[in-house]
Amino acid sequence: MRAFCKASAPGKAILFGEHFVVYGEPAIAVALNIRVKVTAYKSQSKFIEGFRTALVNKAIDAALKTVNSEDKNVHVKIESDLPVSVGLGSSAATASAIIAAVTGLFGVKLSKDELFNMALECEKTVHVNPSGIDPAVTVNGGAVLYQRGVGIKPVKLGEDFTLIIGNTGEGRSTGAMVEKVRIFAERRRDVMDGLRKTYSSTVLRALEALEKGDFEELGLLMNVNHGLLEALGVSNFKLNKLVYASREAGALGAKLTGGGGGGCMIALASKERLKSIAEVIMRAGGEPIIAPISKVGVVYEG
């Protein structure tokens, strides 16, 4: 058994498909190189830093079970650059990195499928009925396509790119937003059908743009997706302020990401514009993070 084992996992952003995914439409999510880093180690000390959440406990327990250990002296140190509870996938990233680090401590290297299944179980302590897209992205890296009842598959990226995240700093409740959309759709079936049809065309074109590395088109399609989410009523003043500030500063596209009603937006821009867009997001009252796509998922760091 090793003295310690380090592993890290990337965050994620939904590029296309929030809310529409609930109605059976495909969604695209990308891994972001904003990572959760976990060091697993053994210690008999009673003075362990940090406290354990249900998610952390479940991840450690699942990992120990996998390696057939009941060692109570295994601990983890978690360092994260990912803001929590804003739709950037910190739960799945944290769980995956813990599972990889703890099993690694016992010299076991899990397959991606094993990691995915275990991380998904852990996510259930935090999210009701999670789709699985978060653990899929964090474990595999890159971009993935997810559709309810169909599953998850990787998306080919013609070229790498970088997103600018804008955190509104406003609390959000994905559940409340999902319920708002449910009522909207129930009362106006025809309008919802039209929005879904439009979204469906948009996401298929986005897949093509991602494969080609056509970022102008990708940005425009992100704007279309944002408009559809507006129509559903899940955007708000501050999200829109950051979205439009980014566009006016030259972003190729900008949209809310995640459930809406607060949380984060994302902007796509050429390398030359990244910093200036981060600045306008800050001036508009948001917290910007420049986040390159992470081609890799969970990795062992030593």
Annotated catalytic residues are 134
Instruction: Name the segment binding its own copies (CB under 8 A); options: 138-146, 237-245, 269-277, 287-295.
Output: 237-245
Question: Binding to its own copies by residue 186, rule CB under 8 A?
Answer: no
Q: Which is nearer to its own copies, 4 or 244 (CB)?
A: 244
Burial-class residue 84 by CB neighbours within 10 Å (0-12, 13-18, 19+).
exposed
Question: Binding to its own copies by residue 241, rule CB under 8 A?
Answer: yes
Question: Binding to its own copies by residue 282, rule CB under 8 A?
Answer: no
Question: Binding to its own copies by residue 182, rule CB under 8 A?
Answer: no
The string of DSSP letters for 64-132 reads HHHTT---TTEEEEEEE-SPSSSSS-HHHHHHHHHHHHHHHHTT----HHHHHHHHHHHHTTTSSS--S
Q: What is the largest CA-CA distance in the chain?
A: 62
Closest CA to 156 of 142, 146, 136, 140: 142
d(CA 206, CA 219): 9
Question: Binding to its own copies by residue 41, rule CB under 8 A?
Answer: no
Q: Which of 236, 290, 296, 301 binds its own copies (CB under 8 A)?
A: 236
Instruction: Name the segment binding its own copies (CB under 8 A); options: 9-17, 114-122, 136-144, 221-229.
Output: 221-229
Sign of CA dihedral 122, 125, 131, 137: negative
Q: Are 145 and 155 in contact (CB under 8 A)?
A: yes
Mark residues 139-178: x for contact with its own copies by CB under 8 A, - for none.
----------------------------------------
* Distance from chain centroid for Cα 22: 16
Q: Which of 232, 254, 268, 289 binds its own copies (CB under 8 A)?
A: 232
Least Å from the CB of residue 255 to its own copies: 10
**DSSP 8-state code for residue 165:** E
Least Å from the CB of residue 226 to its own copies: 7
Mark residues 198-217: x for contact with its own copies by CB under 8 A, - for none.
xxxxx--x------------
Q: Which of 109, 191, 211, 300 binds its own copies (CB under 8 A)?
A: 191
d(CA 198, CA 159): 26
Question: Binding to its own copies by residue 116, rule CB under 8 A?
Answer: no
Q: How many helices (H) and strands (E) does the chain have?
A: 9, 10
Which positions lie near its own copies, rule CB under 8 A? 184, 188, 190-191, 193-195, 197-202, 205, 220, 223-233, 236-237, 240-241, 244-245, 247-248
